[in-house]
Amino acid sequence: MGKLDGRVVVITGAARGQGEQEARLFAAEGARVVLGDVLDEPGRAVAKELGAERAVYVHLDVTREDDWSAAVAATKERFGRIDGLINNAGIVRFNALVETPLEEFQSMVQVNQTGCFLGIRAVAPEITAAGGGTIVNTSSYTGMTGMAGVGAYTATKHAVLGLTRVAAIELAAGGIRVNAICPGAIDTAMSHPEGVDPAVMTDLYRTKVPLRRIGQPEEVAALALFLTSEDSSYITGQPFVIDGGWLAGVSLF
Ligand code: NAD
């Protein structure tokens, strides 16, 4: 028996990285998954691999209200209901605050923060209609602390925690638990910026992170599974840090 038997979960940003691993793990645990992304080709390929019984890909730009309406309609048509949402899609740009163009700042707000809001607003009524379920928002360790060089991103990830807390309070009566994941450095395209030697990044994490390595997207998927399954039945409104101990404190050695 799978931990998500009978569940129908929409996952944004599921064409690659953490979202892809969440889709794979959830399908393996018995869920039917709807993979949303703007990267249509790889998104369709993952869904195809998982099989038509288990998975479908939809083009879903999380910043667009009409895309959310279409994704909800497509999910209901294919699987009849929705009782889970993973707001995972996100983008990052590296810049000092005083050098960040307004457009760059706003693009991160649009995807990371507004996208999360639109997802909650579009899907929560469906989850309640299905008899209750879960929402997991993807924040970051930069949702819990400041990080130089990613000021706009950090602001959006703080905002995601605010949305998570309010949604947990407002949606509890409708049978929905809402929690947030706060990953540290995870081994995906996002943590290997173009033009930076991957070996340099790997070395950085080896020296900075107490567990001496970068995290794997499969490890984040396992946390998303916990928060989507009945194993977390009395937990709502909380941020969960998964960062190899990076936020635990400073080290002299
Ligand atoms: P990733 O870049 O591999 O995946 C992000 C996915 O989001 C991509 O498939 C991308 O196409 C999709 N996406 C981007 N804009 C979109 C939009 N407008 N609509 C729909 N999809 C869109 O990176 P990842 O590490 O898998 O990131 C997943 C989440 O984890 C993000 O929210 C990210 O901010 C967060 N996170 C990542 C790290 C890390 O170190 N990788 C750390 C903390 C938090």
Task: Count CB neighbours of 244 within 10 A.
Answer: 22
Task: For the chain, 253 residues long, give each residue's pLDDT as a single digit of tens.
Answer: 999 999 999 999 999 999 999 999 999 999 999 999 999 999 999 999 999 999 999 999 999 999 999 999 999 999 999 999 999 999 999 999 999 999 999 999 999 999 999 999 999 999 999 999 999 999 999 999 999 999 999 999 999 999 999 999 999 999 999 999 999 999 999 998 888 888 888 888 888 899 999 999 999 999 999 999 999 999 999 999 999 999 999 888 7
pTM: 0.98
Give the domain ranges of the chain: 8-239
CA 136 to chain centre: 7
Strands 32-37, 176-183: parallel, antiparallel or unpaired by DSSP?
A: unpaired
By most ligand atoms within 8 Å of CB, the mutation choice from 91, 114, 117, 142 for ligand 1 is 91
**How is domain 8-239 classified at the architecture level of CATH?**
3-Layer(aba) Sandwich (3.40)
Test site for ligand 1: of 11, 18, 108, 117, most ligand atoms within 8 A of the Cβ: 18
pLDDT reported for residue 201: 83
Q: Which residues have any ligand 1 atom within 6 Å of their CB?
A: 12-13, 15-19, 37-39, 60-63, 88-91, 111, 115, 138, 140, 183, 185-186, 188-191
Q: How far apart are CA 250 and CA 243, in angstroms?
A: 14
Ligand 1, atom 34, residue with closest C-alpha: 90
Question: Which token pair is 61?
Answer: 């730009």
Q: How far is the CA of 252 from the centre of ligand 1 (A)?
A: 32
For residue 136, the model assigns a pLDDT of 99
Which residues have CB under 8 Å from 180's CB, separation 6+? 136, 137, 138, 139, 143, 160, 161, 164, 238, 239, 240
Q: How far is the CA of 17 from the centre of ligand 1 (A)?
A: 7
Strands (DSSP E) found in the chain: 8-12, 32-37, 55-59, 84-87, 133-138, 176-183, 239-242
Q: Is 21 exposed, middle or buried (0-12, 13-18, 19+ CB in 10 A)?
A: buried
The upper half-sphere exposure of residue 211, i.e. CA atoms within 13 Å in the direction of its Cβ, equals 14
Residue that has been written with the tokens 């989507």 in this structure: 228
CA of 79 to the centre of ligand 1 (A): 25
Longest dimension (CA), the chain: 57
Residue 95 CA, ligand 1 centroid: distance in Å:
18
Contacts of 213 (CB under 8 A, 6+ apart): 205, 206, 244
Reference 165, options 137, 126, 128, 140; nearest CA is 137
Q: Among the atoms of ligand 1, which is closest to the Cα of residue 110? A: 18
The pLDDT score that the predictor gives to residue 193 is 82
